[in-house]
């Protein structure tokens, strides 16, 4: 259980940008190298955050992520609700990641295995720091020639499934208005922190 | 500790009845996870569930949510007002020393992993844990250091009785948040009771009072938290409802553990 908490935290550390290159592994490597070069530099945390900010939004498969996070509610929602959800969700993911930037400084990533089938791919990696070694699995889907991350699994814990489980329960009880209220409150709170 | 143990025993009384109703859905997902992990090329299985958008079923049943949220609140307060402040002060002790404390107790609980690996018919794992225990208890000076991992590259593999029950196709049963301990399930909490009896820490100190046993466990928790980088704070800060997020993460984490 204790490990779990750590793992959940590291969840967000690897939500990073992807650029258009040939294989999923090359793409992930490129984005991780890019982020790590900022992380491992001598810059101050606030500067690091600025450098990395925005890139997360650009390269995540925001629509795929949102669709899988909402599950059945994706079809039930109207276009305005979907647009609003995606806008808030991507900000929450980015904030979550940026608030953890410090945890990933000094780490490296080993690439273990890449599997591609059609437009889907799974990449197994291992995130290594002096203190921890954590298996991280990326799931990607190819859209318009670009591999986009639509889920990340840390020691078997899926980002999307965890969010879906929480969000669908909130949606069931409070509807979209309740969920948006919570998301906005949370964002305001997260921005205050850093 | 004994109180917790007897409470758990109470629960385990109706464990098997309870397991049955949740077992069906759970088992199928456990089995799914197993085959996906073990069959290296079972690529589609790993995707199967991602693209079913109708998957709105909760990951675990939580009929005791009211109680669980109460315990979650209690643990939260315990963490912020007692455990964490103490752990912060305790951090004056250099990290390597605290790491050795953690190594020592982890090595001491080797028999838990040895027995459970064997019960799951993972005899190679069981053998590796025996090797680790022997090497670390001797060369590692009673377990203070972990040369088995560092030099021989044999890392510890976490196995407990909850996982053993999972391998035997028992579902997790309802979600359960335990006081002091945190997220668990009926199955895993029952497993915890069994593991407590397998743990030399328990039977080497049979003459200890309840308070002494509890003290050691609290001490271990504080030692752990001193090594941890405020994980819980971050989860709390980032999730819309930390209770729901922890629950989802716990269930998946355990499923993956059982599958390994």
Reduced to 3 states, what is the DSSP secondary structure of residue B153?
coil
pLDDT-above-70 percentage for chain B:
78
CB-nearest to B253 from A117, A157, A182 is A157
The confidence score (pLDDT) of residue A54 equals 62
| Whether pLDDT at A38 is above 70 | yes
Q: How many domains does chain B have?
A: 1
Please state, in angstroms and rounded to a whole number, the distance separating the CA atoms of residues B225 and B11. Answer: 28
Q: Is A100 part of the contact surface with chain B (CB cutoff 8 Å)?
A: yes
Query: Residue B241 belongs to what H/E stretch?
Result: none
Ranges A112-116, B23-27, B112-116, most confident:
B112-116
For B173, the domain range is 2-259
Q: What is the residue-averaged pLDDT of chain B?
A: 83
Neighbours of B28 (CB within 10 A): 11
Identify all chain B residues contacting A170, using CB atoms and an 8 Å cutoff. 240-241, 244
Q: Is B84 part of the contact surface with chain A (CB cutoff 8 Å)?
A: no
* Per-residue confidence band for A94, with pLDDT thresholds at 50, 70 and 90: confident
Please state, in angstroms and rounded to a whole number, the distance separating the CA atoms of residues A76 and A64. Answer: 16
Q: Do A67 and B53 touch (CB under 8 A)?
A: yes
Q: What is the mean pLDDT of residues A83-105?
A: 84
Chain A interface, mutation test: which of B39, B42, B50, most A Cβ atoms within 10 Å?
B50
Distance of CA A103 to the CA centre of its chain: 15
Q: How many residues does chain A have?
A: 194
| Whether pLDDT at B44 is above 90 | no
The confidence score (pLDDT) of residue A104 equals 72
Q: What is the mean pLDDT of residues B3-13?
A: 35
* Per-residue confidence band for A62, with pLDDT thresholds at 50, 70 and 90: confident
The confidence score (pLDDT) of residue A6 equals 54
CA distance B18 to chain A (A): 23
A51-65, A144-158, B91-105: least confident range: A51-65
Chain A interface, mutation test: which of B36, B47, B238, B254, most A Cβ atoms within 10 Å?
B238
Identify all chain B residues contacting A167, using CB atoms and an 8 Å cutoff. 240
Q: Tell me which of B67 and A129 has the higher pLDDT.
A: B67
The confidence score (pLDDT) of residue A49 equals 77
Tell me the β-bridge partners of A141.
Answer: A120, A148
The confidence score (pLDDT) of residue A3 equals 59
Q: Tell me which of B158 and B21 has the higher pLDDT.
A: B158
**Domains (ranges, CATH) in chain A?**
2-193 (3.10.450.710)
Residue bearing tokens 């080993």: A110
| Whether pLDDT at B13 is above 80 | no
Q: Is B44 part of the contact surface with chain A (CB cutoff 8 Å)?
A: yes
| Whether pLDDT at A89 is above 80 | yes
HEC secondary structure over B16-51:
HHHHHHHHHHHHHHHHHHHHHHHCCCCHHHHHHHHH
Q: Is B33 part of the contact surface with chain A (CB cutoff 8 Å)?
A: yes
| Whether pLDDT at A148 is above 70 | yes
| Whether pLDDT at A39 is above 80 | no
Spatial CA neighbour of B56 closest among A67, A157, A168, A175: A168
Q: What is the pLDDT of residues B174-218, one digit of tens each?
A: 999 999 999 999 999 999 999 999 999 988 888 888 899 889 999
Q: Is B47 part of the contact surface with chain A (CB cutoff 8 Å)?
A: yes
The confidence score (pLDDT) of residue B84 equals 94
| Whether pLDDT at B21 is above 80 | no
The confidence score (pLDDT) of residue A93 equals 87
Q: What is the residue-averaged pLDDT of chain A?
A: 82
Q: What is the mean pLDDT of residues B145-160?
A: 93
CB-nearest to B238 from A72, A74, A99 is A99
């Amino acid at each position: 259980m204790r490990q779990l908490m750590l793992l959940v935290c590291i969840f967000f550390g690897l939500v990073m940008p992807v650029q258009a290159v040939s294989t999923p592994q090359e793409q992930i490597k490129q984005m991780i190298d890019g982020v790590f070069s900022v992380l491992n530099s001598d810059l101050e945390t606030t500067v690091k955050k600025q450098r990395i900010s925005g890139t997360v939004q650009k390269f995540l498969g925001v629509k795929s992520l949102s669709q899988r996070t909402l599950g059945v509610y994706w079809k039930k929602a109207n276009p305005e609700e979907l647009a609003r959800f995606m806008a808030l969700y991507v900000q929450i993911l980015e904030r979550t990641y940026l608030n953890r930037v410090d945890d990933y400084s000094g780490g490296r990533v080993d690439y273990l295995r890449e599997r591609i089938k059609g437009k889907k791919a799974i990449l197994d990696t291992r995130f290594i720091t002096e203190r921890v070694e954590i298996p991280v699995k990326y799931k990607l889907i190819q859209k318009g020639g670009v591999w986009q991350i639509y889920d990340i699994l840390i020691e078997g814990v899926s980002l999307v499934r965890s969010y879906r489980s929480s969000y669908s329960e909130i949606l069931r009880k409070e509807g979209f208005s309740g969920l948006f209220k919570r998301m906005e409150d949370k964002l305001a709170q997260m921005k205050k922190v850093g | 500790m004994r109180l917790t143990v007897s409470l758990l025993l109470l629960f385990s009384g109706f464990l098997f009845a309870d397991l049955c109703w949740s077992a069906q859905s759970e088992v199928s997902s456990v089995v799914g996870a197993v085959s996906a992990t073990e069959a290296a090329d079972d690529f589609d299985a790993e995707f199967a569930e991602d693209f079913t958008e109708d998957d709105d079923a909760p990951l675990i049943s939580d009929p005791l949510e009211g109680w669980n949220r109460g315990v979650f609140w209690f643990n939260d307060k315990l963490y912020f007002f007692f455990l964490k402040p103490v752990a912060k002060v305790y951090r004056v002790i250099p990290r390597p020393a605290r790491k050795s404390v953690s190594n020592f107790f982890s090595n001491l609980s080797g028999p838990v992993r040895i027995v459970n690996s064997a019960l799951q018919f993972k005899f190679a794992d069981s053998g590796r844990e025996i090797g680790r225990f022997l090497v670390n208890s001797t060369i590692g000076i009673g377990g203070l250091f972990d040369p088995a991992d560092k030099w021989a590259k044999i890392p510890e593999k976490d196995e407990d009785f909850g996982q053993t029950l999972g391998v035997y196709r028992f579902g997790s049963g309802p979600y359960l948040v335990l006081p002091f301990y945190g997220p668990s399930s009926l199955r895993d909490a029952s497993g915890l009771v069994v593991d407590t009896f397998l743990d030399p820490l328990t039977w080497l100190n049979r003459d200890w009072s309840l308070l002494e046993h509890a003290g050691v466990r609290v001490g271990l928790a504080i030692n752990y938290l001193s090594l941890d980088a405020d994980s819980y704070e971050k989860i709390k800060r980032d999730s819309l409802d930390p209770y729901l997020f922890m629950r989802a993460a716990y269930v998946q984490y355990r499923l993956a553990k059982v599958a390994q």
